[in-house]
Structure 1
Amino acid sequence: MLLSLTGVCKTYDSGAARVDVLRGIDLVLAPGETVALTGESGSGKSTLLHLCAGLDRADGGRIEVAGRDLSGADDATMAALRRDRVGLVFQQFNLIPSLDVGANLAFQARLAGRDEPARIATLADRLGLGGLTGRYPEQLSGGQQQRVAIGRTLAARPALILADEPTGNLDEATGDAVLDLMLELVAEAGAGLLMVTHSPRLAARLSRRVHLSGGRLA
């Protein structure tokens, strides 16, 4: 499996109480599979993505990404995994303000040793960014910045994409077009996609849907 979670638990302190956010999560994701993760606000969806990305540590259970057990991995190993195998699209754009759009798009691919200028230029065009590659993040709208963030992730050809509401800042037509592109590129690369979404319409376009409620998946 590209992603495997077994009995994953996560607890946070909330004042005098402890909150069990995740209570024994089991999930597998195969190469080429796309999974929609739904649930109410505050149900732990983003927490689950952070654990899968190695940005936070589970309190119990086992997480494997591309065959690597994250429980024993140090920070350097986690960073290398995110550089080489895992692509992240979170609600914060995290673009580099000193780099123009073209350089932001190529940034992750260069780190991973997969810089392909012609492919990145094509990707920019398909994201509606072809005429904006010389601009800087501060000169873009929120929707344009989100498309740059998505393009930066796709350009690096990750084996696993973890996306938190990746089209949430886009209008419906643009969001549909961007999701079309994501699904197409995931299929071409045989990658996997785990995507948080509040939209039943978008969730229905993925291979399957899992719902997080009460700390458990259904």
Structure 2
Amino acid sequence: MLQVHDVFKSYATAQGPLPVLQGIDLTLRPGSSLALMGESGSGKSTLLHLIAGLDKVDHGSISSGDYRLEQMNEAQLAHWRRTEIGLVFQQFNLIGSLRVEDNLAFQARLAGRHDAQWQAHLVQRLGLADLLRRYPEQLSGGQQQRVALGRALASQPKLLLADEPTGSLDEATSDEVLKLLLELLDDSPTTLLMVTHSHRVAARLAQTVTLHGGRLADAQAR
């Protein structure tokens, strides 16, 4: 599903280049779930952004099927994000001017894969049936994150990238949202890569890897 090979990334600073990732190797199989952990500033979000095509590697390769991200231009990377992956962030990033039902369909319509039956299934599983006519500002944090999950999954992406998706939620709501996400992934072939600080959240996924000093520690499988 996804292969990250010998990836290096650094950023320019007044003191010179700041190495963030130093030779990252990572493989995800279709349908698998992996938690990416590490202390703040360890490069977790940087790696996620590279895989999403939001930034480019300095050296190395990121590939999925026929896609080789380091060889793609901005238009091709935009197509990758639009059609092949789903993105979920801690901040929800819903479109404030759209009702819930339109937020849910937004990504799938961009990808040309809107499926009314699948969206209805998501609405039912996520408990959003009574919220479809509301705007994001009329929702609680947990409700907004459920909409964000539904939007990301509505296009039935091959890969779901989640950056601290429950980080702004209280523990009970976090557990509820994570449970729903994992149940929905059981209904689809989507692969999950989640950045998280929480060992409790990571324990719910099939595998955990830890970033330290720009490198990945040995994976822990469950």
TM-score by length of 2: 0.92
1:6-65: CA deviation from partner (whole Å, max 9, x where unpaired) = 110110122223210000100000101100000001111000000000000011111112
**Residue 22 of structure 1: aligned partner:** 21
Give yes or no for contact 1:37–1:196 (8 Å, CA) kept in 2.
Answer: yes
Give yes or no for contact 2:36–2:195 (8 Å, CA) kept in 1.
Answer: yes
Give yes or no for contact 1:29–1:192 (8 Å, CA) kept in 2.
Answer: yes
**Residue 50 of structure 1: aligned partner:** 49
Q: State how far apart, in whole Å, the 1-side matches of 2:187 and 2:125 are.
A: 15
Cα distance change, pair 11–196 in 1 and its aligned pair in 2 (3 A): same
Report whether the alignment pairs 1:192 with 2:191: yes
Matches within 5 A, 1:162-201: 162-201=161-200
Give yes or no for contact 1:50–1:56 (8 Å, CA) kept in 2.
Answer: yes
Give yes or no for contact 1:20–1:215 (8 Å, CA) kept in 2.
Answer: yes
**Residue 59 of structure 1: aligned partner:** 58
Unpaired segments ≥5 residues, structure 1: none
1:116-149: CA deviation from partner (whole Å, max 9, x where unpaired) = 2233233223223221111111222333222211
Q: State how far apart, in whole Å, the 1-side matches of 2:67 and 2:108 are.
A: 22
Matches within 5 A, 1:116-127: 116-127=115-126
Stretch deviating more after TM superposition (115-124 or 98-107): 115-124
Give yes or no for contact 2:145–2:177 (8 Å, CA) kept in 1.
Answer: no
Give yes or no for contact 1:109–1:115 (8 Å, CA) kept in 2.
Answer: yes
Q: What secondary structure does 2:9 align onto?
A: strand
Q: What secondary structure does 1:41 align onto?
A: coil
Q: State how far apart, in whole Å, the 2-side matches of 1:73 and 1:191 are.
A: 23
**Residue 107 of structure 1: aligned partner:** 106
Report the CA distance between 1:110 and its aligned residue: 1.5
Q: What secondary structure does 1:31 align onto?
A: coil
Q: State how far apart, in whole Å, the 2-side matches of 1:189 and 1:116 are.
A: 14
Cα distance change, pair 176–67 in 1 and its aligned pair in 2 (3 A): farther
Matches within 5 A, 1:134-153: 134-153=133-152
Report whether the alignment pairs 1:208 with 2:207: yes
Q: What secondary structure does 1:38 align onto?
A: strand
Report the CA distance between 1:3 and its aligned residue: 0.8
Report whether the alignment pairs 1:217 with 2:211: no
Unpaired segments ≥5 residues, structure 2: 218-222
Q: Percent identity?
A: 60
Q: State how far apart, in whole Å, the 1-side matches of 2:152 and 2:177 are.
A: 13
1:160-186: CA deviation from partner (whole Å, max 9, x where unpaired) = 001001122233233223222322332
TM-score by length of 1: 0.93
Report whether the alignment pairs 1:82 with 2:92: no
Give yes or no for contact 1:146–1:169 (8 Å, CA) kept in 2.
Answer: no
- Structure 1 segments of 4+ aligned residues over 6 angstroms from their partners: none
Q: State how far apart, in whole Å, the 2-side matches of 1:171 and 1:117 are.
A: 32
RMSD: 1.5
Q: State how far apart, in whole Å, the 2-side matches of 1:85 and 1:182 are.
A: 18
